[in-house]
A and B are shown apart, each in its own frame.
Chain A
Amino acid sequence: MKQSSKYLKACIVMFLIFLYAPAFLLPIFSFNDSKVIAFPLSGFSTVWFEQLLYEDTLHDALRNSLFIAVSSSILATVFGTLVARASSRYQFFGQRASVTFILVPLILPEIILGVCLLTVLIQLGLNLNLWTVVLGHTLLITPFSTLIMVSAFNNLDISLEEASLDLGMSAVQTFRLIILPMVSPGLISSLLIGFVISLDEFIIAFFLTGVEPTLPVYIWAQFRFPAKLPSTMALGTILLIVSLILVSLFEYFRRRIELYNHYSMELDKK
């Protein structure tokens, strides 16, 4: 028993090293006082971060990415909420099938999705711009939002809504006072995960972006200039930290859903 738990611990440690070691190289080299990305380290420096402040194309790309991430995560969360509400409260033909079909983009390779979207947009005669990327990212994020919102709505006990109506509140009041607060952890985690996915996404953005690159597309373009590599790593470090914060927040709110879930399950047991 003891022996096997020791092996288990060793496995977990190895796994974590394997998973996170590459990511740790980012901050290490971004603070290194050398243009060459190699050991041994030559000295501490924040020069690569300072350089980022003067890259105008980087700032444009960042602005583009933020616009796309905010727009597409909001759009996807709205869609996901509507799907979740419909599937949890109403009976209609093709109810299960429709939810399943919305989840399909999850398993579709992004490159296929990107090519298809590009073909459709060109056929429609639309110009590629930030909105076409928003469109692509919304398509990509909606399955995640749907999954999160379905779980948020499924744990919303219908008798809570009925109790609110019974106590004299209108449907609109019930939505504002009961439904919205109860699913708000879901809404927030859907927005967060959508934001992170969109911010990091490269392939679809690469296909659908016009003359205005997103951050990942900008980074990809930077690899042509070896001199820019250390500052790209500095940018990567910042992105890593932002993503970590956002994912932690997402996890916090996801646990809030589970807390409500747990509470209502406990009620059912009693």
Chain B
Amino acid sequence: MTNGGGIQEGNIVDLISIQKTFDRIKAVNNVSIGIKEGEFFSLLGPSGCGKTTLLRVIAGFEVPEMGDVLINDKVVNSVPPNKRPTNMVFQNYAIFPHLNVAENVGYGLRNSKLDKNLLQKRVRETLNLVGLDGFDNRSSTALSGGQRQRVALARALILKPRVLLLDEPLSALDKNLREQMQFELRQLQKSVGITFVLVTHDQTEALTMSDRVGVMFDGNVDQVATPEEIYNKPRTKRVASFIGSMNFFDAEVSASQGNSIIALNHNLGKIRLKKESVFGMEGSKLSVGIRPEKFKLISNDNKKAGRAVSAIVYEKSFLGQTKLFNLRFKDGENVITVSTSDLKNAPNPHIGDEVKFIWDEEDLVGFYEE
């Protein structure tokens, strides 16, 4: 599986066939990822998928049993964390409670023999960068969650690391602050130009902030790609169902024509998929996926109505910008979700109504089932 591995020009971090086991459980299983210099990279996955372990492998807190960690093209397998050009923002921020804000931020410069004035200047500049002007002498126990996070950021950024590692930094914040910090982190990354590696279980966070995302499950990396690619062309079924919502239909492969694969589903009929959108080990059974917003509801007089599929509305909900319809086929089996954001023009059926819907074949993805 291609997942962005292998040494390439312009990579700041290269993970090559990393394996790490805890109590006989493979937390990270043969993972290879290349992280490009200056990008905002996210490791996304459910809890326990090994994403934090992988981050700690980059930081040097975990030593992999197999594989190599390269930072700036140098193998750093046996280099301890204090000698690596990486700095970390911990999940609980790990602010030293017995030091004040300025002492926390300047902590990493203690060994740098900077004179006192210069050190203070650097601390002030960095506090300014994270929006904490004038907090120098504040006690670190008297900070709010958001302020603690800013101190943790400043403390790591002041050392000008090649890579900044962030372990679920926003999970401790409430929703509004989280959204604001997402935006600020993104801005900060662009302005300092340092490579950010973020670990998160929040797909929205990963998709909105990152240049590229690596999606992990059970110690494996399923896909490394841009947020658009991850959303539109998920490589595996579990990526497809983890990111956003997706309807799945079981289908039998019936034929292969040129660039297309034809599959049959008893409710949707004949489905045509692009070969490049079908993934997995080739077989006869296919799971066909389509996002709810890719279904289009059409009225009966529409000229495309001939190739449309019909179903019955059994639930509908209004979500502000979009409307969600849950449909059931006439045989009562499948439940599918259709969302529409074109509230003005799209048909607005009631519960119990029969509706017709269509889709574009390029919006379909398929996964061979074992």
Kindly report which residue of chain A lies nearest to residue B103, judged by CB atoms. A177
Contact of A270 (CB < 8 Å), options: B88, B111, B156, B172 = B172
**Sample of 19 A–B contacts (CB below 8 Å):** A160-B94, A162-B88, A162-B90, A163-B88, A165-B80, A165-B81, A166-B81, A167-B87, A167-B156, A168-B82, A168-B108, A169-B107, A170-B82, A173-B111, A177-B110, A178-B96, A260-B97, A270-B172, A270-B173
**Chain A CB within 8 A of B364 CB:** no
Which chain B residue has the least Cβ–Cβ distance from A260?
B97
CB neighbors of A among B90-117 (8 A):
90-94, 96-98, 107-108, 110-111
Task: Provide the residues of chain B in CB contact with A263, threshold 8 Å.
Answer: 97, 141
The reply on A222 being an interface residue by CB < 8 A is: no
Question: B172 — which chain A residues lie within 8 A by C-beta?
Answer: 267, 270
Is there contact, CB below 8 Å, between B96 and A163? yes
Task: Encode contact with A along B301-315: 1 for CB under 8 Å, 0 otherwise.
Answer: 000000000000000
When the two chains form their complex, are residues A162 and B82 in contact, meaning their CB atoms are under 8 A apart?
A: no
Complex contact A163–B94 (CB within 8 A)? yes
A160 B96 Cβ-Cβ under 8 A: yes
CA–CA, A173 and B109, complex, Å: 13
- Beyond A162-B81, A263-B141, whether A167 also contacts B155 by CB under 8 A is yes
A267 to B92, CA, bound (A): 6
Let me know if B159 is at the binding interface, CB within 8 A. yes
Per the bound structure, the CA–CA distance linking A169 and B98 in Å amounts to 17
Residues A166 and B107 in contact, CB atoms below 8 Å apart: no
Which residues, 103 to 138 on B, are CB-close (under 8 Å) to A? 107-108, 110-111
- Contacts A162-B61, A182-B98, A260-B97 given; does A167 touch B159 at CB 8 Å: yes
Closest to A158 in B: B94
Contact of B94 among A159, A168, A170, A270 (CB under 8 A): A159
Contact among A157, A165, A177 for B92, CB-based, below 8 A: A157
B145 within 8 A of A: yes
Residues in chain A near residue B173, CB distance under 8 A: 270
Question: Could you give, for residues 133-177 of chain B, a 1 whenever the CB lies within 8 Å of some chain A CB and a 0 otherwise?
Answer: 000000001000100100000011001000000000000110000
Give the CA-CA distance A173 to B86 in the complex, in Å: 19
A178 to B59, CA, bound (A): 20
What's the minimum C-beta distance from B63 to chain A, rounded to whole angstroms?
Answer: 14
How far is it, in angstroms, between the C-alpha of A162 and the C-alpha of B84 when the chains are bound? 13
Cα A109 to Cα B92 with chains together (Å): 45
Known A260-B97, A270-B172; contact A166-B92, beta-carbon cutoff 8 A: no
A268 to B141, CA, bound (A): 14
- B-side binding surface: helix, strand, loop or mixed? mixed
Chain B residues within 8 Å of A270, by CB: 145, 172-173
Contact A159 B159 (CB under 8 A): no
Contact A167 B107 (CB under 8 A): yes
Q: Least Cβ distance of B294 to chain A in Å? A: 39
Pick the residue among B83, B92, B98 that contacts A159 (CB under 8 A): B92
Say whether B98 contacts A166, CB under 8 Å.
no
B110 touches A169 (CB 8 A): yes
Contact between B107 and A267, CB atoms less than 8 A apart: no
Q: Is A226 an interface residue (CB 8 A)?
A: no
Q: What's the nearest-Cβ distance from chain B to residue A215, in Å?
A: 37
Interface string of A257-268 (1 = CB under 8 A from B): 000100110011
Q: Which residue of A lies closest to B108 (CB)?
A: A167
Task: Using A159-B92, A270-B145 as known contacts, say yes or no to A166 and B59 having CB atoms under 8 A apart.
Answer: yes
Is the CB–CB distance between A166 and B87 below 8 Å? yes
Bound-complex Cα distance A4 to B96 (A): 46
Q: Mark B254-292, 1 if CB is under 8 A from A, else 0.
A: 000000000000000000000000000000000000000
Q: Give A164 to B96 CA distance when docked, in angstroms.
A: 9
Q: How far is the CA of A160 from the CA of B96 in the complex (A)?
A: 7
Residues of A within 8 A of B91 (CB): 159
Which residues of chain B come closer than 8 Å to A166, judged between CB atoms? 59, 61, 81-82, 86-88, 156
